[in-house]
Each structure stands twice: as structure tokens, then as C-alpha cells.
Amino acid sequence: MDLLFTLLATVVALGLLVTIHEYGHFWVARRCGVKVLRFSIGFGSALCRWHDKRGTEFVIAAIPLGGYVKMLDEREGPVDEAELDQTFNRKDVKKRIAIVAAGPIANFLLAILAFWLVAVIGITTLAPVLGPVEPGSVAARAGLVQGLEIVEVDGAETRSWHDVNLQLIRRLGETGQMQVMAIDGPGATPQSYTLVLSDWLRGADQPDPIAALGLASWRPEVPPLLGEISPDGAAEAAGLRSGDLIVSIDGEPVNNWLDQVVPAIQASPGEPLEIGIERDGQPMLLTVTPQSREQGGEISGFVGAGVAAFEWPEHMVRSIDYNPLVAIPFAAAKTWDMTVLTLDSLKKMLTGLVSAKNLSGPITIAKVAGASAKSGPESFLNFIAYLSISLGVLNLLPIPVLDGGHLVYYTAEWIRGKPLSERIQAWGLQVGLTLIVGVMLFAIYNDISRLG
């Protein structure tokens, strides 16, 4: 069932992104007077097809990993003389640039829409209040201590741990100073802390910026009282029930779900654990063997049991939402910030500051799609926005085969007053194909390595 849900979430996400991208090309092509022969979502055999009144064939194909808009073009076959004025190749170079650029622009507009919806719907999150700070760490040397709330990183407001993490990612591989503003309780005056970085996490595989600084989030003491038990999970198979209070694991007393029970279970995939419980005031011993799953690139254990509901302190909870008008500039600014971050990350990969092993392919995309969809509409919308930005940036890279490569050719034609020679364009096509195939294979290799 989980696999089916993940596949469905992936198809929905990729299908939406590809449809919006190709519709951008299609919409502008129509307005520039170019005849569109086919609008295809996916590749391979057609699952269904239909035609509109202008004769364009719309196709939904079997392999949902891309799509294309086929336009009337003399370079791809003979064209009736009556339709020559509708061919792509005969349009003014500025119109061709507009048509090609429309696909990536549509992806950025989709990201703005997704961020806008998240801002209007609103999210409930936790304030970035520090838990124990690792002695001798970068954060400890800067003077950060448990209980402080991070309110700014390098001048950018941080209202959640997600905001903190995004700001830290910007500094991966760098040397220099990072400025952090923190408060010691609600209403306190912010204090500045200077963190000194030296080739920070340079070339690290799957870096964890927060932990690398020696930071951890503050967590309340949560009694290990079981709530929901998943059907057919390890906990149910062992006889655990909702309402059981865990008092020991392998003979060691426990009294905190987050700090003791969860780490013990995660560290024991496939290994039996002796769980001491109290049920209706009576002590019992049960043996539970956690199942295995991949999490954060590592194998960890889980038993299919959740803790009973508990409440976080009121000052720790943040409700973040915007009215529809204010949400527009917020969404546009966030799209711009994420675009800049994506480009900066690509530059750091090329220069070795960030490991190329962080490049992800379709397997990772599918896993994240499924996980974000399970987490709720806000998480899935954020995932759609981030992926749409990545697709827009990727397509604008000046690589032949991609939209960015075509834009380079047409810009050169605009400047020169004539197209580049067919030999140069053919050579660029071969180089571009080789590069794209190589990057795709490397990304898939990274995905498989993470699974291994």
C-alpha cells in the first residue's frame, strides 16, 4: 500500500510539473502564431489521445517522466505552403526566445502559486529553541547554550527549524563568520553570536548542518505511554497495546519517549528488545523485534507504535499564515530565494565545496514525494514548489538539448543577425546529450547507493 501511495504521489507531482512546463511552451507558441501539432505528457505508448478544434493532438503517454510540445517546423519535415507562416523556424527570433523561455517561467510561476497556497493555508511549527549544545562544537565556542531561541541567521528571520536549516545550507563548504541572533525567552532582547566556519562540511555526503554545528532542538520530557498501534506492525505482533507504559528496555529504566525509547528502537533494526511495561498497574515483559527501514540514508528500526498525545509549551508553537494579498510578495520572494540557493548549490557542486553525491535522481524524488504527501497538503505543496524551481533552473542551464541551450543559440542569432551554423548546433547537441545522460546516470547511481 505504501508503494502504491508513493507511486501515485510521484505521478501526480511529476505530471503536474511537466504539464505546467509544457503548457508554458504551448500557450506562448499559440499566441505567437505557431501551429502546435502535439502536446504530450509522458513518453512511450499513448494511454489516451484527443484533438482540439485547431487540430492539436493531446496525448497522455505511459511513461510519466517528461513531455514535449511538437510544433510545425520545416526542419522536421515538408510543410504545406499555406501553413509556412505558422512554422516555428520562420518566426522572428524574439518570438522563438519567448516560446522557449515560457516553459521554465511557467515552473517558477507554479512555485509562486504553491508557496502562496501554503502561506494562505498556514502552517503550525515549532520555534527553533536549542536543546543541549555539544561541548567543544562550533556553536558552543560561539557561546550558544540550551534554551536560546534562534531568531536570525545571517540577517534572515528564522521562525522555525526549517528556516534555520535553509540558512545553514547556504553556507555549506564556506570559510568565514556566521552571525546568529538569539533570545533567552519570549520578549527578551536579541543577542548576537558569531560562529566561525572553516571549510564547513566541505564535500560532505548528505550533510546535517544543524547537527554539524553541535545544535539540537529542544524537546519536552514525554512519558513513554503508547498511543496508536499500527496493524500488522512489530509492536502489535509482540502484544503491545495502546495505554501501555514502557518502563524499561533490555533491563535499563526509561522515562522519556523522545530521548530514550525512540533512539533505542531506531538503533536496533532486526534485533530483539526486551520491553518492560506497566499495563493496568501490572508489570509485564514483552519481546519486540523492530522492523527495518531506510531513513536519512541509514537503516533504522521501527515498531509501528506511537506515543500518546502530549502538548508542547504554548510559547514553543508557531502558527504562520498570511492574508492572500500579503502572501503574494512573500511567495515571490521565497521563490527567488530558493532559485538563488539552487544556483549557488550547483556552483558549489561544480567547485567541490558541496559533494556531487548530494545530487538526486528519480528514486529519491519518488521517496520524498511519498513522504511529503503523507505529511499533509502543506508539505506536498512545498515539495512541488521546490521541485518546480529545480526543474526551471535545470532547463535554463546553457546546455544544448535543454531550453537554456536553445536560448543561447537564439540569443547568438539575435546578436549576429543570422543563425549559428548547423555544424556547431549539431556538435552542441551531441555534447549536451552526453552531458545530460551522464548526469542522469550519476544521479540514479547516487539513489541506488543510498538504498544500499
Fold of 123-220+312-320: Pdz3 Domain (2.30.42)
What Å distances lie between residue 290 and 228, 235, 287, 307, 353, CA to CA?
A: 16, 8, 10, 16, 38
Q: Rounded to whole angstroms, how far apart are CA atoms 448 and 357? A: 11
Q: Let me know if 20 is exposed, middle or buried by CB neighbors in 10 A (0-12, 13-18, 19+).
A: buried
Q: Rounded to whole angstroms, how far apart are CA atoms 367 and 385? A: 16
Give pLDDT, residue 450.
Answer: 65
Q: Rounded to whole angstroms, how far apart are CA atoms 147 and 190? A: 13
* Residue 83 annotated among the catalytic residues of the structure: no
Q: Do domains 123-220+312-320 and 226-307 have the same CATH topology?
A: yes
Please tell me which residue in 22, 149, 152, 378 is annotated as part of the active site: 22
- The H-or-E segment that residue 386 falls in is helix 377-396
Give pLDDT, residue 372.
Answer: 72
**10-residue stretch averages of pLDDT, the chain, 452 residues long:** 72 88 96 94 89 92 86 89 90 94 96 95 90 94 94 93 92 94 91 94 85 90 88 88 91 89 90 92 91 73 86 84 94 95 88 77 66 77 92 91 90 88 82 80 71 60
Give pLDDT, residue 357.
Answer: 76
Residue 262, C-beta contacts closer than 8 angstroms, at least 6 positions apart: none
The model carries a pTM of 0.83
Residue extents of the structural domains in the chain: 2-32+91-121+384-451, 123-220+312-320, 226-307
- At residue 255, the 3 state secondary structure works out as coil
The CATH number given to 226-307 is 2.30.42.10
Which of 122, 116, 117, 190 minimizes the C-alpha distance to 150? 190
Give the side-chain half-sphere CA count within 13 A for 63.
8
End-to-end CA, the chain: 22
Give pLDDT, residue 114.
Answer: 95
Give pLDDT, residue 1.
Answer: 53
